[in-house]
Amino acid sequence: MDHLAVPPAPRPFDATVRPPGSKSITNRALLCAALAPGTSTLTGALFADDTRAMLGAVAALGAEVETDEGRGTVRVRGGLGQGGGGTVDARQSGTTSRFVLPAAALRAARTVVDGSAQLRARPFGPLLDALRELGATVEEETPGFLPAAVTGPLTGGRVRLPGHLSSQFLSGLLMAGPLMRDGLAVELTSPLVSVPYVEMTAAVMRAFGVETQGLTVAPGAYTAADYAIEPDASAASYLLAAPVIRGGRVTVEGLGTASLQGDVRFADVLERMGATVTRTADSITVEGPATIRGVDVDMADISDTAQTLAAVAVFADSPTRVTGIGFIRGKETDRVRAIVTELNRAGVDATEDDDGFTIRPGAPRPVSFATYEDHRMAMSLALLGLRAPGVRIEDPGCVAKTYPRFLRRPGGAERASPPGDDHGPGQWVTCVTTPWARSRPRSPSSCGWARRPGGPRASPRTGRWTGRRT
């Protein structure tokens, strides 16, 4: 099995980093741009498996897309064509599949939406039922799951929708709302999880000319826009957790109090654990505490960072209890069970609760962690290796879903590691274990760590590292 050996961090962090573009904002902006007549230009976009899935999906809806990965830009010529339907492969992407189903159902053509075996196991029932109620014909092989075919057009109107499984159903419906003949009014039949993502949906829609009123959208039209995408706040959670686990400080640039992403609030949780947090409109700095305190925290709004917190909690001086996240059992894997199982395998006393988990402090023993085809398992468990010797991550390539450069092969598709990295050929290195800004900075284009003047730099052409080490 392909694996990554995570070497313990040799010294505390002192680094500034800009994570890649937000997956959630990229996929919303791509869809809104595809529904807007005219040409939109997106900057700061994420290029990863989930956003490639959305690029394919909007092309299937009839948008013309031009990408420049080096610059992080995407040009989209949109406007909902009434073309001939087709098939969308959403791969592993919840956002792509849940956002494209309502958009595809705006058209009279039949569109099939499918994805990986993992995505086929995730829930779609509430969304498919809502589309039926709103006037679409929906065909499923297994009720409530992908693959599903939708044929429109949606007439729109009032619809009832449960909120407790995923907010993505609601976001997908809202984005298609203005193009429904009668507009859309959603009534939630159970409490909504991941609330900040729905606020993000409204904000991106507004940037493309459509206003929502609560969960109601009047009939209208999108307008093309030039739109700048923030760095990814869920990706930032790993980078901000690193100095709490190992000491030192990390500044994340491009994310701060003005962010559209709820996951920036992960820094608030680190603060409650004793970290010193400094925020500006577009940066967050976390400085690790001498002693980490356990916390009791409801993470229903920021559940993508729950596994990151579990990794930090292992090194606290008292137990940590996370609640409100029962619904993450339906994500890439059953994340509650998976994180508890892996921590138990490392000898850590962790237990599952119905709606979360409890982690008691411990010293992880050497272990090869399984990652369950879940990028967030890989990135979170890699953090343990910063402090605990002998940590290995299996199938590290799964990070490609949202953060392809978080773990990478030296000399592989990305570029060679800097001189002095003690990783043998064929192994993986991770961004969190090699950013020692004083001695081993990386170029901003590899992991996002800012380069210090005078430090070594990698040639973009050859990937070879040259220059003096500071």
Ligand X SMILES: O=C(O)C1=C[C@@H](OP(=O)(O)O)[C@@H](O)[C@H](O)C1
Going by the annotation, the residues of the binding site are 23-24, 28, 94, 122, 166-168, 194, 304, 331, 335, 376, 401
Of residues 6-35, which lie at the interface with ligand X (CB under 6 A)? Answer: 24
Of residues 393-422, which lie at the interface with ligand PEP (CB under 6 A)? Answer: 402
Helix 233-246 × helix 375-384 angle, to 10° = 20
From ligand X, ligand PEP, none, interface partner of 40 (C-beta below 5 to 8 A by class): none
**Which range binds ligand X by CB under 6 A, 191-199, 241-249, 254-262, 332-340?**
191-199
Please name the residue ranges forming H helices in 135-254.
Answer: 168-176, 195-207, 233-246
- In the annotation, is 304 catalytic? yes
If you count DSSP H runs as helices and E runs as strands, how many of each does the chain have, helices first?
Answer: 12, 26
Among 111, 10, 5, 19, which residue's Cα sits nearest to residue 404? 19
First-residue to last-residue Cα distance in the chain = 37
Distance CA 161, CA 450 (A): 44
Supply angle C-alpha 403, 408, 410, rounded to 5: 155
Of residues 146-175, which lie at the interface with ligand PEP (CB under 6 A)? Answer: none
Which amino acid appears at position 113 of this protein?
V
Of residues 336-355, which lie at the interface with ligand X (CB under 6 A)? Answer: none
Residue selected from 97, 166, 251, 333 as contacting ligand X according to rule CB under 6 A:
166
Q: Which is nearer to ligand X, 74 or 233 (CB)?
A: 233
Residue selected from 51, 93, 168, 261 as contacting ligand X according to rule CB under 6 A:
168
Q: Is 91 in the site for ligand PEP (CB under 6 A)?
A: no
Residue selected from 22, 40, 51, 93 as contacting ligand PEP according to rule CB under 6 A:
93
Q: Which residue is at the shortest CB distance from ligand PEP? A: 94
From ligand X, ligand PEP, none, interface partner of 376 (C-beta below 5 to 8 A by class): ligand PEP
Of residues 40-69, which lie at the interface with ligand PEP (CB under 6 A)? Answer: 50
CB burial of 410-424 (b: ≥16 within 10 Å; e: otherwise) equals beeebbbbbeebebe
Count of residues near ligand PEP by CB under 6 A? 9
Sheet containing 184-188: give its strands across. Answer: 157-161, 184-188, 216-217
Smallest separation (angstroms) from ligand PEP to the CB of 211: 25
From ligand PEP, ligand X, none, interface partner of 212 (C-beta below 5 to 8 A by class): none
Q: Which is nearer to ligand X, 24 or 212 (CB)?
A: 24
Q: Is 171 in the site for ligand X (CB under 6 A)?
A: yes
Feature table: binding site for 3-phosphoshikimate: 23-24, 28, 166-168, 194, 304, 331
Distance CA 324, CA 356 (A): 6
Tokens at residue 70, please? Answer: 């080096």
Q: Which is nearer to ligand PEP, 165 or 391 (CB)?
A: 165
By the 8 A CB rule, do 467 and 458 touch? no
Distance CA 299, CA 305 (A): 8
Residues 6 or more apart in contact with residue 115 via CB below 8 angstroms: 53, 89, 90, 91, 92, 93, 96, 97, 146, 147
Of residues 295-324, which lie at the interface with ligand X (CB under 6 A)? Answer: 303-304
Q: Is 307 in the site for ligand PEP (CB under 6 A)?
A: no
**Catalytic hit among 263, 304, 374, 395:** 304
User: What one-character DSSP code corresponds to residue 213?
Assistant: B
By the 8 A CB rule, do 256 and 264 touch? yes
Q: Is 376 in the site for ligand PEP (CB under 6 A)?
A: yes
By the 8 A CB rule, do 157 and 184 touch? yes
- Footprint of ligand X on this chain (CB under 6 A)? 24, 94-95, 166-168, 171, 193-194, 197, 303-304
**Which residues make up the interface to ligand PEP (CB under 6 A)?**
50, 93-95, 304, 331-332, 376, 402
Which residues are marked as active site? 304
